[in-house]
Amino acid sequence: MRGIVYTGGDAVVTDRLEVGEPGPTQVKVKIEAAGVCHSDLSVIDGTIPYKAPAVLGHEGAGVVEAVGSLVRSVKPGDHVVIATIANCGVCRACNSGHPTWCIKSLGNISTPFTYEGQPASNFAAASVFAERTIVSEVQAVPIDDDVPFTSASVIGCGVVTGVGAVLNRAKVAPGDTAAVFGVGGVGLNVIQGLRLSAASRIVAVDTVADKEPLARRFGATHFVDASGSDAVQEIRSIVAHDPSSTAGALGPGGVTWSFDCVGHPAVLRNAVDALDWGGTAVAIGIPRRGTEVAIDVNSLAYVDRAVMGCRYGSSRPRHDIPLMVELYKEGRLMLDELVTETVPLEDFRHIVEAMHSGKLARGVLTF
Ligand SMILES: NC(=O)c1ccc[n+]([C@@H]2O[C@H](COP(=O)([O-])OP(=O)(O)OC[C@H]3O[C@@H](n4cnc5c(N)ncnc54)[C@H](O)[C@@H]3O)[C@@H](O)[C@H]2O)c1
Ligand SMILES: [Zn+2]
Ligand SMILES: [Zn+2]
């Protein structure tokens, strides 16, 4: 079958891939559409270290083709979005409503594929850049048949990650202010999550000025072109200090929430520097392992500022994915508009180049 394999330092489109049959608690899915997330590119360029060969892709939707003997929640023919969290379902974290904290859900690499006859592993427990993949039952989340696969696919990572960071992790309140660094597939979903939460001012920041119309379409009230200006100063002038409230040192003014959807230490530092007193910066972007950011502790400790990480939108996939579909059907969540380019699997390179030049919201591969 066809797919995209990380071969160590590069990725190849191949038709020399095979996949096995599902185990008792697994599901085999025929992939119909797959979004390209920056994390796939980060494997290829070594930002996320990964053992080759591995089948890439972790944002996909398709049709259940076969199920293991113990699977009860889906059947052949069901349409599903694939969640990347293969959580165990029985540990304390899972049962406290935090599957993204399940220790079994990180690094649970398996090798359901062969590439040129040799074992090949999965990536993000998903591997949706293949005609067929095998996931655990908990990851195959059923959705209504009338959602186009291209639009459904992006829920699998970008939407859940971005909207979830706002709703589940930050729990943004109406009237809060926010800055979103990086207007890509994740950042646009943070922006629309903020719109859903009735944030008052939503400042989008990107180094590509052409991202402004897209950012505004998804709900940004302001846009800062970080290539030609000091983003922190711009944000502080857009959300200025309220002169009627207490002021002092340590930078009053700025936003209640900031989101790093880039994964660069300078961006996270800017995200912290753009905060008002009591504000929190949410780290979503994934830089190289070991990356550190210097922060003046006083700027946190004196004024209730914080930095928090957020994995996969701190989501509960079997709750949040159906919710995203519901919001989409009600016209409150933009999915079709996220898919700015759809190409056959073979044109993966084209999507990679378009992402690097900042041209896309999301590029989606079809099979
Ligand atoms: N924490 C998680 O669970 C999770 C999930 C998905 C993706 N990610 C990570 O989130 C990040 C974003 O992913 P994506 O798919 O949205 O990427 P993307 O390539 O679609 O978008 C990145 C955007 O950032 C912009 N950008 C680059 N440098 C910038 C800078 N210095 N300042 C402002 N903007 C800048 C680009 O122009 C682009 O618009 C990646 O690091 C990815 O690995 C994390
Ligand atoms: Zn992703
Ligand atoms: Zn668990």
180 C-alpha to ligand 3 centroid (Å): 31
Task: Say what the pLDDT of residue 253 is.
Answer: 83
Counting ligand 1 atoms within 8 A of each CB, the residue from 206, 258, 291, 360 with the most, and so the one to mutate, is 206
pLDDT of 167 > 80? The answer is yes
Residues forming a β-bridge with 307: 281
Distance 123 CA to ligand 3 centre (A): 19
Phi-psi region of 124 (alpha: psi -120 to 50; beta: other; left: phi over 0): left
The structure's pTM equals 0.97
Residue 243 structure tokens: 């002169």
28 pLDDT tier (thresholds 50, 70, 90): very high
In terms of Cα–Cα distance, which of 246, 192, 182, 183 is closest to 218?
192
pLDDT band of 213, cuts 50, 70, 90: very high
Give the residues surrounding ligand 1 with Cβ less than 6 Å away.
Answer: 37-39, 42, 157, 161, 181-187, 205-208, 211, 226, 261-264, 267, 284-286, 310-312, 355, 358
Q: What is the pLDDT of residue 359?
A: 84
Q: Give residue 241's pLDDT.
A: 78
Among residues 89, 91, 70, the alpha carbon closest in space to that of 26 is found at 70
Distance, in Å, from the CA atom of 137 to the CA atom of 317, rounded to the nearest integer, reads 12
Å from CA of 127 to ligand 3 middle: 21
**Which residues are placed with Cβ below 5 angstroms of ligand 3, an ion?**
87-88, 91, 94, 102
Which residues are in the CB-under-5-Å shell of ion ligand 2? 37, 39, 157
Q: Which CATH number fits domain 161-311: 3.40.47.10, 3.40.50.720, 3.40.50.460, 3.60.21.10?
A: 3.40.50.720
| pLDDT given at position 245 | 61
* Band (107; pLDDT cuts 50, 70, 90): confident
Distance 230 CA to ligand 3 centre (A): 43
pLDDT at 247: 53
How much is the pLDDT for 108? 82
- CATH fold of 3-147+335-366, please? Quinone Oxidoreductase; Chain A, domain 1 (3.90.180)
Ligand 1 mutation pick, 188, 262, 338, max ligand atoms within 8 A of CB? 262
Of 215-224, 245-254, 269-278, minimum mean pLDDT range: 245-254
Give the residue whose CA is nearest to atom 7 of ligand 1. Answer: 39
Query: Which-ligand-closest: CA of 232?
Result: 1
Cβ atoms of 161 and 312 closer than 8 Å: yes
3-147+335-366 matches 161-311 in fold: no
Smallest CA separation from ligand 1 atom 8, residue: 285
Other CB atoms within a 10 A radius of the CB of residue 302 amount to 13
Calculate how far, in angstroms, residue 84's C-alpha sits from the geometric centre of ligand 1: 18
Residue 357 or 314, more confident: 314
pLDDT in tens, 129-160: 999 999 999 999 999 999 999 999 999 999 99
Model confidence over 70-87: pLDDT tens digits?
999 999 999 999 999 999
In the chain, where the domains are located: 3-147+335-366, 161-311
Q: Measured from the CA of 39, which atom of ligand 1 is nearest?
A: 43
Nearest CA to ligand 1 atom 22: 184
